[in-house]
Copies of this chain bind each other. A is one copy, B any other.
């Protein structure tokens, strides 16, 4: 057992740290201004395009993607870098072309796409020429239960025809999101996890109706293309638009979830560190009733508790990454579920307390805390609510054998 990062990881991490500290954080106010100046715009603001050029020059590009198509890092090597991007989740991941949902979509295309699919969709995504959305969640059903999916995909001659309604299609409000990956039922009579298929749908296809944007605690997340409700009304695409094959949708979705979840956790830890940075700044320049905030016992307990949680959970995230690298995503399922539950909860609480340290400013647009909080809060629901994972983990625990 050894807790020291390897030299190349350390070097790349240092470069990412410098880029984020020197280029990304200072650009945050610019983003706010550009968003405020252009209220109706859902597409990529200029500041993001700018940062993407610079990140690419700095060799900080597509680091999330293992294998030949990406930077070739292991999950364990990517972990500390992903964490750093969580300091500025609106800007850093997208600047380095490591932002959800594109990351997961690129993984799918790299792993399950045909050469033609990769050519058409993966390459421009790797170049950040386009963005993409993943259309899985549906209104009106418990989406964590895949058998409840209502979208139907039927074969009609040489075409697939899609009918249904999706929401929480992140990014899809943006015209840049040229690709929609849509999950639906191709065979309702098949076995529980063989009913679903996944189709690559160009955004401009007839019958694709972007219905409306959804908000997250009052935020529209415009800089990322928001979250769309989309109606698919007899949307027709050619037979080769299927990813993998018929009935493979559930398995493909599962493959997507492992890396997606751990990446969320990595970034979330960086968000927690950002909150502590803000707490330190605040505590240094604010006193009440004759004492600075950092001298108050209650505040000290908060930040101490935050530090303990971050340190312990970061190690669990690292170990999970190591397991994914060494024994595979499936064998790491218990650990993936564990961090999926524990990290957002811990970070939500840390943000809540730092907001409390900031007073009313903490809930406003003047500090990034409230926005960060809303993003983290949503993670407790995305990709399955905590309770589904806790129940699954608990069931597994009762089947586990003794450590002795």
Binding site for B on A (CB under 8 A): 1-6, 9, 17, 20-21, 25, 76, 83-84, 87, 137, 139, 142-145, 148, 167-168, 214-220, 270, 273-274, 276-277, 280, 283, 286-289, 294, 296-308, 311-313, 315-316, 318-319, 322-323, 334-335, 338, 341-342, 355-356, 359-366, 370-371, 373-374, 377-378, 380-382, 385-395, 397-398, 400, 402-404
Contact = CB atoms under 8 A, between A and B. Distances in A.
A50 B43 CA distance: 39
Given A315-B312, A387-B356, A394-B304, A20 B363 contact: no
Most buried by B among A144, A218, A380: A218
A147 to B, nearest CB: 9
B304 A397 contact: yes
B394 A378 contact: no
A117 to B, nearest CB: 29
Contacts of A373: 217
B359 A385 contact: yes
Contacts of A142: 286-289, 359
A259 to B, nearest CB: 18
6 contacts: A139-B361, A214-B365, A217-B217, A218-B374, A315-B316, A356-B380
A359 B316 CA distance: 26
A398 B280 contact: yes
A322 B381 contact: no
B316 A390 contact: no
Contact of A1 (B4, B381, B400): B4
B311 A335 contact: yes
Given A142-B288, A386-B356, A393-B307, A374 B381 contact: no
Given A145-B289, A404-B277, A363 B378 contact: yes
Contacts of A312: 312-313, 315-316, 338, 342
Interface hub of A21, A315, A397 (most chain B Cβ within 10 A):
A397
A403 B273 contact: yes
Contact of A363 (B145, B360, B363, B377): B377
A280 B400 contact: yes
B371 A218 contact: yes
Contacts of A334: 307
A322 B398 contact: no
A277 B323 CA distance: 24
A304 B393 contact: yes
A345 B42 CA distance: 36
A360 B138 CA distance: 10
A260 B291 CA distance: 28
Given A217-B217, A308-B341, A387-B298, A398 B303 contact: yes
A385 B297 CA distance: 14
A119 B243 CA distance: 74
Given A1-B4, A84-B404, A403-B273, A300 B390 contact: yes
B397 A303 contact: yes
A302 B297 CA distance: 12
A371 to B, nearest CB: 7
A125 B374 CA distance: 36
Contacts of A3: 1, 318-319, 322-323
Given A1-B6, A277-B404, A322-B2, A297 B294 contact: no
A392 to B, nearest CB: 8
Give the 5 A-B residue pairs with the shortest CB-CB distance, closest first.
A300-B394, A218-B218, A142-B288, A297-B297, A304-B393
Given A2-B1, A359-B385, A390 B304 contact: yes
Nearest to A313: B312
Contacts of A277: 402-404
A389 B304 CA distance: 9
